[in-house]
Amino acid sequence: MARRKKNSQEEIVTSILDAMADKKAWEPVVLDFTRLTGALCDTFVICHGTSNTQVTAIADHVITSVKKKTGINPWHLEGLKNAEWILIDYSDVVVHIFQEHRRRFYNLEHLWADAEIRRIDTVAN
């Protein structure tokens, strides 16, 4: 039986960020937890959209793009029904796609301020 090549986390994160950019996601950031003891995962990728429709489109495109580029399906999904905060769990990489008001309310970047935060510049925003 042939073994599937293990995808690097950076390859997964890059696929996620590319998919977010394709759907004009707002203010994408990457939170790196690898230097923190006891973190539940290694990376959060966070962004927001301006409507339920955009949030759903971003999530659908992330799932499709990551599958196409890496062969990986999400381990767990939440929030697709309401599309105010969609969580896509790839085990070591967790994606959070918010509507803007929910993102500001939960403020994960501040909550996890100990993580290394990398803000992604986007031309569309």
Walk along the chain (125 residues) and give the pLDDT tens digit of each residue.
Answer: 443 445 688 999 999 999 999 999 999 999 999 988 888 899 999 999 999 999 999 999 999 999 999 999 999 999 999 999 999 999 999 999 999 999 999 999 999 888 999 999 865 54
The widest CA-to-CA distance across the chain, in whole angstroms, is 48
Q: How far apart are CA 10 and CA 125, in angstroms?
A: 23
Q: Using H for helix, E for strand and C for coil, what is the string for 15-48? A: HHHHHHHHCCCEEEEEEECCCCCCCCCCEEEEEE
Q: What is the pLDDT of residue 6?
A: 53
Q: What is the pLDDT of residue 2?
A: 40
* Nearest Cα residue to 124 out of 35, 14, 27, 41: 27
What is the set of domains in the chain, with CATH numbers?
9-119 (3.30.460.10)
Q: Which residues of 77-110 are buried (b: 16+ CB within 10 A; e: fewer)?
A: eebeeebebbbbebebbbbbbbbeebbeeeebbe
Per-residue pLDDT of 97-115, as tens digits, reads 999 999 999 999 999 888 9
Q: What is the pLDDT of residue 100?
A: 96
Residue 18 CB neighbours (<10 A): 14
Q: What is the pLDDT of residue 8?
A: 85
